[in-house]
Structure 1
Amino acid sequence: MAAASRDRGRGRPAVATTPSASSSPPAPLHVLVFPWLAFGHMMPFLELSKRLARRGQAVTFVTTPRNAARLGAIPIELSTHLRVVSLDLPVIDGLPEGAESTADLPPEKHGLLKKAFDGLAVPFASFIAEASGSRKPDWIILDFAQRWIWPIAEEHEIPCAVFSIFPAAMMAFAGPKKKNLAHPRTTTEDYMVQPPWIPFPSNVAFRRRHQADWIAAAFRPNESGVSDADRFWEMERPHCRLIIHRSCPEAEPRLFALLTELFSKPSIPAGLLMPPDINDSDDNNAYTISNDKSFTAEMRWLDEQPERSVIYVALGSEAPITADHVRELALGLELSGVSFLWVLRDPSGIRGGGALLPDGFVSRVAAHGVVCTRWVPQLRVLAHRAVGGFLTHGGWSSIFESLRFALPLVMLPLFADQGLGVQALPAREIGVEVEWNDDGSFDRDAIAVAVREVMVEEKGKALACRAKELRDVLGDQGRQEMYLDELVGYLHRYK
């Protein structure tokens, strides 16, 4: 009864997850997990897969060959429960050879990747038919993009669940199709206000025009011939029995009950799914650098810096940064006078992004700044005693990674869900957003002001204190593990 009461208090359907002393534990499930081809999706899906495998469930993770190779080896202790299966991505006109994830492409070609992704319907159907001859999956946990999976799952009578790697606020903002038909959004301004189906005051809106323009595009057909919103709305089918969120009620209060009501099916948290502790001995873990020597010089540089004096700068692997962004960010960091470690990847469609740095920049900041154009072990950097803040695009993963180490944020949201992520409870209370211009640009002065506010001024100390408080709440490992145990209970109950 205590567990049921706790669930009602969170506004989620109660579910029994622990068998009684007189009953036998349920047989392990076979769960097929299939993310969209973006690393911001694949990594949380893989982490969910590992957590399910650690609970004795059999998990099949489906992706394409190149992505499978980039995910790294499965930890030995999980290899009997978790396997990776690759399906060849079809070749289509306009999609570069070897492009199998959004990280391989500029944003304007992501629609072509979705078109190729749709071509996986036939090989996936064959794979499921073959699996049905041995042990077919008890569940398919899929992403927003696989509109073609539903008839395959229905034919083979396999229930489905959608796993959203975005803030729960993103799904609340999108809303069900019937609500969108009743309240059509036809202008950019319509996306800049809270949707009418959210019955309480919230920050669920894209307040800045350039962010609203980005999200409005998701409601229009792209090169695949289908809009992202239409793909998303396919999960309103009865065959989708659960909606799973990479979130929790402590991070996003009130939304789980609302989403359960809006979509007429349980909307449940999987917790934050943070990767393992950086001290784990798993050499194959993508979050460690125990066998990687390429970052040694930068780590030595960090070792030489005073405690909490460096701001770590990283805008994710897929954010649509431009040459102008690189220039203004560089000059803003220089103007701030704060020590920094900047992970600079190539802007969209441009190779050799480091060449876009202002003339003389590297030599001028050599005494207090490092620019790295290689892969960086982000968790190890964030955990370093010299790092005192994080300049980030405000992706959901980055927000919680910063919280893990109680770091205040400088937030520079660029696209997709990031406009909502920076307004979510954890981000608003532990960071400041860079001031944007009306045309959707930012300048060096805005960067310098925000960086100094977090790293130099008194406000930064208050933000760091609040980050520690939130870490104690959202980082409660027992609570996070409980969400995963409850998720397994839902999978058993609703299959």
Structure 2
Amino acid sequence: MAEPKKLHIAMFPWLAFGHLIPFLELGKLIARKGHHISFISTPRNIERLPKIPPDLAPSITFVKLPLPHVENLPENAEATTDVPHHIVPYLKKSHDGLQQPLSHFLETSAPHWIIHDFAPHWLPPIATKLGISRAFVSIFSASTWCFFNPCPRSHDPSTRTEPEHFTVPPKWVPFPTKVAYRLFEAKKIFDNHKEDNASGVSDFFRLEMVLPGIEAWAVKTCMEVEGEWLKLLGELYDDIPVIPVGLLPPRPKQEGGDNNKDSTWDTTGDWLDKQEKGSVVYIALGSETQPSQQDFTELALVEVPEVFLERTGGRGIVWTDWAPQLRILAHESVGGFLTHCGWSSVTEALQFGRALVLLPFLTDTGLMARFLEEREAGVQVPRNEEDGSFTRESVAKTLKLVIKDVEGKIYRDNAKEMASIFGDMDLQSTYIDKFVEFLENQRHANKGTLS
């Protein structure tokens, strides 16, 4: 049987590192199967990505498209981490200005596939005209997509018109679940939805435009973790192949490569080496989260780092810049992780069996917190149901329960058990094999012999 010919696959993630990093990880795994990747983003974002392993460098080309200037977007702001939340719509408006340069790249380089995110609502007619197959990649869990279900033909959106409607599982979920919003989370979503969108295009409109015509919906998950949700997603979108690509767990030794950012490990690694096994709680809220001043105060992070370190003696460390999260989580001194519940951060933590203290902030993370509580892999910090506020006492009590108390052993045990799935590289590789096989076969069926 003849070997499949090499595919040229373009990848175009949204301008957020919570999207860029999983897209890059997927690109590296596809490249290891013998195909060429063109990874498309802006110059500054590409410069901030982890270095590619030398053996993969010939198979991955970084395509830098300068981000058009728009009013109200700060200079050098190229990712959501560079701007406060209310400025993100201007980033989306600037991103929409990439339509012409991306179109030019696709026309001149003629990839077989473009694997893209939710944002480029203008991409489908371009790809269709050029005969380029499209696959949509979701960096969110299958359970999150099923809860939102932006497919209008599969439900009546008018049934969810108030925040309270989002505090219970939707009617199209046929099995028992706790995956739903808390009232304060639902209110925040509604408040954000009422705000004017400076980009002129809502996220739901973007999804409604990019989903029709895709030849695959790739989801960052696996059957062992979200089997019933994947089945439901496939039923809701029965005209689109829904394909799990695995959890895309990165490997600790690959994080950063030769990147200068690895120098931060000298400080954090030396400190961790001096701590007892399982005694450290790692606290990180992701690159997109912007807690209020009160939230920072309650987490004891509002103090000047020097004061914090003086007060805690050698018992704590504050790192205000980029941190080598994967290497920290892999260290044996870490016994738990206080997390904002981003799917990628959760994946990294459970890869090493770290029990979770859940403190969600952003749109999808409340649903992820419920999913993890349902699996008893972590506990959410108690919060005021109306405004979402929490206290330092509630944080301390939850940390003690999850990390130390006898009553919290079930969460520690379940997290360790989940490591057998999240950390099983062979298992996760089988999902990549099937996805790549789909890309090869589908392209062959659509276009005949690859050129």
TM-score by length of 1: 0.84
Given the alignment of the two structures, is residue 235 of structure 1 paired with residue 182 of structure 2, yes or no? Answer: no
Identify the residue that residue 159 of structure 1 maps to in structure 2. Answer: 133
Q: Which of the residues 261, 279, 284 maps onto 1:314?
A: 284
Given the alignment of the two structures, is residue 104 of structure 1 paired with residue 82 of structure 2, yes or no? Answer: yes
Identify the residue that residue 492 of structure 1 maps to in structure 2. Answer: 440
> 1:204-239 CA deviation, whole Å, 9 max, x = no partner?
321x123223444676662211111111122331x2
In structure 1, how many angstroms separate the alpha carbons of the residues matched to 2:293 and 2:21?
A: 28
CA gap of 1:444–1:323, structure 2 versus 1, over 3 A, is same
- Write the letter of the residue equivalent to 2:175: F
Identify the residue that residue 42 of structure 2 maps to in structure 1. Answer: 64
Where 1:435 maps in the other structure, the secondary structure is coil
Identify the residue that residue 203 of structure 1 maps to in structure 2. Answer: 178
Give the paired residue count: 439
Where 1:251 maps in the other structure, the secondary structure is helix
Where 2:48 maps in the other structure, the secondary structure is helix
In structure 2, how many angstroms separate the alpha carbons of the residues matched to 1:33 and 1:414?
A: 28
In structure 2, how many angstroms separate the alpha carbons of the residues matched to 1:109 and 1:42?
A: 19
398-407 vs 444-453, which moves further: 398-407
Quote the offset at 1:283 in angstroms.
3.0
Identify the residue that residue 16 of structure 2 maps to in structure 1. Answer: 38
CA gap of 1:125–1:473, structure 2 versus 1, over 3 A, is closer
Quote the offset at 1:484 in angstroms.
0.3
Q: Which has the higher helix share?
A: 2
Given the alignment of the two structures, is residue 393 of structure 1 paired with residue 340 of structure 2, yes or no? Answer: yes
Quote the offset at 1:273 in angstroms.
0.5
Quote the offset at 1:452 in angstroms.
0.8
Q: Percent identity?
A: 41
CA gap of 1:182–1:111, structure 2 versus 1, over 3 A, is closer
Quote the offset at 1:300 in angstroms.
2.1
Quote the offset at 1:174 in angstroms.
1.8
Q: How does 1:3-18 map to 2 (within 5 A)?
A: none
In structure 1, how many angstroms separate the alpha carbons of the residues matched to 2:290 and 2:435?
A: 34
Q: Which of the residues 221, 234, 256 maps onto 1:260?
A: 234
In structure 1, how many angstroms separate the alpha carbons of the residues matched to 2:222 and 2:202?
A: 28
Quote the offset at 1:38 in angstroms.
0.2
Question: Is the 8 Å Cα contact of residues 354 and 373 (structure 1) preserved in structure 2?
Answer: no
- Write the letter of the residue equivalent to 2:46: A
Given the alignment of the two structures, is residue 478 of structure 1 paired with residue 426 of structure 2, yes or no? Answer: yes
Question: Is the 8 Å Cα contact of residues 75 and 282 (structure 1) preserved in structure 2?
Answer: no
In structure 1, how many angstroms separate the alpha carbons of the residues matched to 2:41 and 2:64?
A: 5
Identify the residue that residue 375 of structure 1 maps to in structure 2. Answer: 322
Quote the offset at 1:184 in angstroms.
4.0
Question: Is the 8 Å Cα contact of residues 354 and 415 (structure 2) preserved in structure 1?
Answer: yes
Where 1:140 maps in the other structure, the secondary structure is strand
- Write the letter of the residue equivalent to 1:100: E
CA gap of 1:281–1:476, structure 2 versus 1, over 3 A, is closer
Identify the residue that residue 402 of structure 1 maps to in structure 2. Answer: 349
- Write the letter of the residue equivalent to 1:421: M
Given the alignment of the two structures, is residue 188 of structure 1 paired with residue 166 of structure 2, yes or no? Answer: no
Q: Which of the residues 25, 34, 38 maps onto 1:47?
A: 25
Identify the residue that residue 269 of structure 1 maps to in structure 2. Answer: 244
In structure 1, how many angstroms separate the alpha carbons of the residues matched to 2:192 and 2:52?
A: 34
Quote the offset at 1:25 in angstroms.
2.1
Quote the offset at 1:173 in angstroms.
1.5
CA gap of 1:72–1:182, structure 2 versus 1, over 3 A, is closer
CA gap of 1:223–1:484, structure 2 versus 1, over 3 A, is same
> 1:297-351 CA deviation, whole Å, 9 max, x = no partner?
3322222211111111111111121211110011xxxxxxxxxxxxx6xxxxxxx
In structure 2, how many angstroms separate the alpha carbons of the residues matched to 1:117 and 1:317?
A: 19
Identify the residue that residue 84 of structure 1 maps to in structure 2. Answer: 62
- CA-based RMSD of the aligned residues comes to 2.1
Quote the offset at 1:259 in angstroms.
1.3
Quote the offset at 1:200 in angstroms.
2.2
Q: Which of the residues 448, 456, 481 maps onto 2:396?
A: 448
Quote the offset at 1:389 in angstroms.
0.8
In structure 1, how many angstroms separate the alpha carbons of the residues matched to 2:153 and 2:393?
A: 44
CA gap of 1:309–1:148, structure 2 versus 1, over 3 A, is same
- Structure 1: state its 5+ residue gaps: 1-22, 331-343, 345-352
CA gap of 1:79–1:295, structure 2 versus 1, over 3 A, is closer
In structure 2, how many angstroms separate the alpha carbons of the residues matched to 1:98 and 1:462?
A: 46
In structure 2, how many angstroms separate the alpha carbons of the residues matched to 1:434 and 1:404?
A: 22
CA gap of 1:203–1:268, structure 2 versus 1, over 3 A, is farther
Identify the residue that residue 172 of structure 1 maps to in structure 2. Answer: 146
In structure 1, how many angstroms separate the alpha carbons of the residues matched to 2:138 and 2:278?
A: 34
- Write the letter of the residue equivalent to 2:270: R
Given the alignment of the two structures, is residue 328 of structure 1 paired with residue 302 of structure 2, yes or no? Answer: no
Question: Is the 8 Å Cα contact of residues 255 and 326 (structure 2) preserved in structure 1?
Answer: no
Identify the residue that residue 3 of structure 1 maps to in structure 2. Answer: none
Question: Is the 8 Å Cα contact of residues 272 and 333 (structure 2) preserved in structure 1?
Answer: yes
359-368 vs 219-228, which moves further: 359-368
Quote the offset at 1:142 in angstroms.
0.4
In structure 2, how many angstroms separate the alpha carbons of the residues matched to 1:460 and 1:285?
A: 38
Quote the offset at 1:75 in angstroms.
2.2
Quote the offset at 1:419 in angstroms.
0.8
In structure 1, how many angstroms separate the alpha carbons of the residues matched to 2:259 and 2:174?
A: 43
Question: Is the 8 Å Cα contact of residues 251 and 425 (structure 1) preserved in structure 2?
Answer: no
CA gap of 1:182–1:374, structure 2 versus 1, over 3 A, is closer
Identify the residue that residue 311 of structure 2 maps to in structure 1. Answer: 364
Identify the residue that residue 448 of structure 2 maps to in structure 1. Answer: none
Question: Is the 8 Å Cα contact of residues 376 and 410 (structure 2) preserved in structure 1?
Answer: no
Identify the residue that residue 300 of structure 1 maps to in structure 2. Answer: 270
CA gap of 1:382–1:388, structure 2 versus 1, over 3 A, is same
Quote the offset at 1:71 in angstroms.
1.0
Question: Is the 8 Å Cα contact of residues 249 and 422 (structure 2) preserved in structure 1?
Answer: no
In structure 2, how many angstroms separate the alpha carbons of the residues matched to 1:381 and 1:200?
A: 37
In structure 2, how many angstroms separate the alpha carbons of the residues matched to 1:180 and 1:226?
A: 22
Quote the offset at 1:79 in angstroms.
1.8
Where 2:217 maps in the other structure, the secondary structure is strand
113-122 vs 218-227, which moves further: 218-227
